[in-house]
Amino acid sequence: MLVRAIEEADRIVVGRLVLELWGAHTAVAHGQVFFPASLPGFLVEQQDTVVGLLTYAAADNHLEIVTIDALRRGRGVGSSLVDAAVHRARQLGCNRVRLTTTNDNLDALRFYQRRGFRLASLRPDAVREARRLKPEIPSVGDYGIPITDELDLERWVAPR
């Protein structure tokens, strides 16, 4: 399994994957619209096939994971992407890695907490506003749970 930074030559493939996995060219979190295909990030490849994708936005003191997807689950793809993001955060001098997920995403909540992320905030009904910015967000998500709320998680990153 190879984890590498997204390069300009990957942009078309990344754009296609984002559309396929996220139902639009945009991702919305905490009232902000992101265009993941134009963000920096990482790809995981296995025998020349893309099996994982993470995109991020870096700010002064934190790195925000905007999208993370394992195309083959339960094989360490997601973990290797989180490791790459934490490593990049350290390189950039950030003190934490953060992300936003939704109340239905129980698998992701489990996954992140097992990897050192802590719940940082809850925004009840925030997905109502997110849907205004991205109408493609479905009303029902994983396990038949209505998608209504946003949750932020963060993991502190020790300085190098």
User: Which residues sit at the interface with ligand COA, rule CB under 6 A?
Assistant: 68-70, 73-79, 99, 101, 105, 107-108, 111, 114
Give the pairing type, strands 62-70 and 96-102.
parallel
* Nearer residue to ligand COA within complex by CB, 28 or 70: 70
Give me the least distance between CB of 113 and ligand COA, in Å please.
Answer: 9
* Nearer residue to ligand COA within complex by CB, 107 or 129: 107
* Nearer residue to ligand COA within complex by CB, 40 or 76: 76
* Nearer residue to ligand COA within complex by CB, 20 or 107: 107
In the chain the beta strands, taken as DSSP E runs, fall at 2-5, 27-29, 32-34, 41-46, 49-58, 62-70, 96-102, 118-123, 150-156
Give me the least distance between CB of 101 and ligand COA, in Å please.
Answer: 4
Q: Answer whether 55's CB lies under 8 Å from 41's CB.
A: yes
Give me the least distance between CB of 83 and ligand COA, in Å please.
Answer: 9
Dihedral of alpha carbons 89, 91, 94, 96, sign: positive
